[in-house]
């Protein structure tokens, strides 16, 4: 468990409002990056065909990094400390990103992802897409919390 605290800034040295050594923060990041990997694989991978170095970076970013972060989360983060009550706070980032995407898309006339393109789908469908993504995030976050708690319960008898 000490490895996790050495991976980020020590709380007394932190100038950030986010303490990246907290289990909840790391679990939120694990949920975010898992949703990114799943979304890219299911909805975005088919819209372009990177070649050479772009392909390597694409695979590293969307396939390798989610898996590596989940391995880090499983091995180094004390996941039994994560609370179900944290999930609503974790939703601020995806909701904020969705709002930013809608506002910037309305101003610029282009959206970061095809499933958020109001010009192609209209606000109703894009809102439904955003809600579906949010539900998916809640499911992934809940699964991670459940896994962390199960791991904590399994480790507790072994520690006695």
- How far apart are the C-alpha atoms of 76 and 65, rounded to whole Å? 16
pLDDT of residue 15: 60
Sign of CA dihedral 103, 119, 38, 131: positive
- Provide mean pLDDT across the span 96-111: 96
Cβ contact 21:123 at 8 Å: no
pLDDT of residue 5: 47
What ranges do the domains of the chain cover?
Answer: 2-159
CB atoms within 10 A of CB 77: 25
pLDDT of residue 153: 73
pLDDT of residue 156: 62
Cβ contact 48:22 at 8 Å: no
Q: Is 61 exposed, middle or buried (0-12, 13-18, 19+ CB in 10 A)?
A: middle
Spatial CB neighbours of 142, under 8 Å, sequence gap ≥ 6: 84, 87
Average pLDDT of the chain is 89
Does pLDDT of 14 surpass 80? Answer: no
Spatial CB neighbours of 26, under 8 Å, sequence gap ≥ 6: 4, 20, 73, 77
Look at residues 101, 149, 116 and name the one whose alpha carbon lies nearest to residue 43.
Answer: 116
How sure is the predictor about 21, in pLDDT bands with cuts at 50, 70 and 90? confident
For 37-90, write each residue's pLDDT tens digit. 999 999 999 999 999 999 999 999 999 999 999 999 999 999 888 999 999 999
For 126-155, write each residue's pLDDT tens digit. 999 999 999 999 999 999 999 999 887 776
In this structure, what token pair is assigned to residue 104? 């910037």
Task: Give this prediction's pTM.
Answer: 0.83
Does pLDDT of 6 surpass 80? Answer: no
CB atoms within 10 A of CB 24: 19
Cβ contact 94:32 at 8 Å: yes
How sure is the predictor about 123, in pLDDT bands with cuts at 50, 70 and 90? very high
| Distance separating the N- and C-terminal Cα atoms of the chain | 17
């Amino acid at each position: 468990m000490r490895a996790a605290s050495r991976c980020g800034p020590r709380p007394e040295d932190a100038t950030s409002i986010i303490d990246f050594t907290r289990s909840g923060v790391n679990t939120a990041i694990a949920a975010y990056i898992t949703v990114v990997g799943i979304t890219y694989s299911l909805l975005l991978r088919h819209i372009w065909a990177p070649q050479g170095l772009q392909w390597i970076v694409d695979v590293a970013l969307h396939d390798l990094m989610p898996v590596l972060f989940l391995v880090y989360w499983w091995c180094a983060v004390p996941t039994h400390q994560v609370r179900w009550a944290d999930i609503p706070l974790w939703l601020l980032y995806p909701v904020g990103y969705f709002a930013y995407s809608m506002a910037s898309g309305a101003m610029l006339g282009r959206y970061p992802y095809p499933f958020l393109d109001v010009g192609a789908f209209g606000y109703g469908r894009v809102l439904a897409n955003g809600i579906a993504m949010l539900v998916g995030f809640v499911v992934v976050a809940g699964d991670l919390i459940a896994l962390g708690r199960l791991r904590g319960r399994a480790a507790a008898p072994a520690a006695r």
